[in-house]
């Protein structure tokens, strides 16, 4: 069972793990009358559209990803989100990944940061890290990089978490959206 607000911020599944998810599948089971779409942002296209000078600044940079980054803020907004035990917190230690990752099969580069899980860029002063991440977050989800999937009964969607961010849109409080999710383990990003 997932959390009803699990898609509240743009993210790549399990980027906070040492081996983030390679891909994910969602299979529609029950859909609301309105809302409930999923947005997908192409991070290869977002990287390719960056100015050359910014691409050069990103070479070799590493970012920290943490499951806990937005957790407490989401708990404050949603009473159904449980508090985490000390053991659960210990299981989700931050992971460090390249800001720009390279697909192992194609060699194509993509941005690999998200507002939901990326906490900071290592080696940069805090203010510079925050400013650069804000710039990348805003750039990476511009309309020209986004596909909106309007769910139909029994749709199944697969995406590559190495190169795509996603975001769930809202569902009216009196309606339900039930999707089955399967996540495919990935490898260590390079």
Domains of the chain: 21-185 (3.60.130.10)
pLDDT tens for each residue of 38-74: 999 999 999 999 999 999 999 999 999 998 887 767 7
Q: Among candidates 161, 171, 164, which has minimal Cα distance to 146?
A: 164
Return all residues near 67 (Cβ < 8 A) that are at least 6 apart: 16, 92, 117
Angle at 78 between CA 155 and CA 29, to 5 degrees: 15
Residue 80 has pLDDT above 80, yes or no: no
pTM above threshold 0.75: yes
Residues involved in catalysis: 11, 13, 166, 181
Residue 81 pLDDT: 64
Distances (CA, A) of 122 to 21, 132, 155: 22, 12, 40
Q: How many Å apart are CA 42 and CA 59, to the nearest integer?
A: 20
- What is the per-residue pLDDT across 103-130, written as a single tens digit (0 to 9) for each? 989 999 999 999 999 999 999 999 999 9
């Amino acid at each position: 069972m997932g959390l009803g607000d699990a898609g509240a911020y743009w993210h790549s599944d399990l980027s906070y793990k040492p081996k983030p998810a390679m891909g994910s599948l969602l299979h529609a089971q029950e859909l609301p009358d309105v809302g409930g779409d999923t947005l997908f942002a192409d991070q290869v296209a977002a990287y390719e559209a960056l100015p050359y000078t910014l691409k050069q600044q990103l070479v070799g940079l590493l970012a920290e990803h943490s499951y806990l980054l937005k957790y407490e803020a989401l708990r404050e907004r949603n009473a159904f989100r449980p508090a985490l035990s000390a053991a659960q917190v210990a299981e989700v230690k931050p992971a460090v990944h390249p800001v720009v990752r390279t697909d192992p099969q194609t060699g194509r580069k993509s941005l690999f940061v998200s507002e939901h899980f990326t906490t900071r860029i290592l080696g940069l002063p805090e203010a510079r890290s925050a400013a650069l991440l804000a710039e990348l977050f805003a750039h990476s989800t511009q309309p020209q990089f986004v596909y909106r999937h309007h769910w139909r009964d029994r749709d199944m969607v697969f995406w590559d978490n190495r190169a795509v961010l996603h975001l769930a849109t809202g569902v009216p409080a009196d309606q339900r959206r039930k999707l089955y999710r399967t996540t495919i383990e990935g490898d260590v990003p390079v």
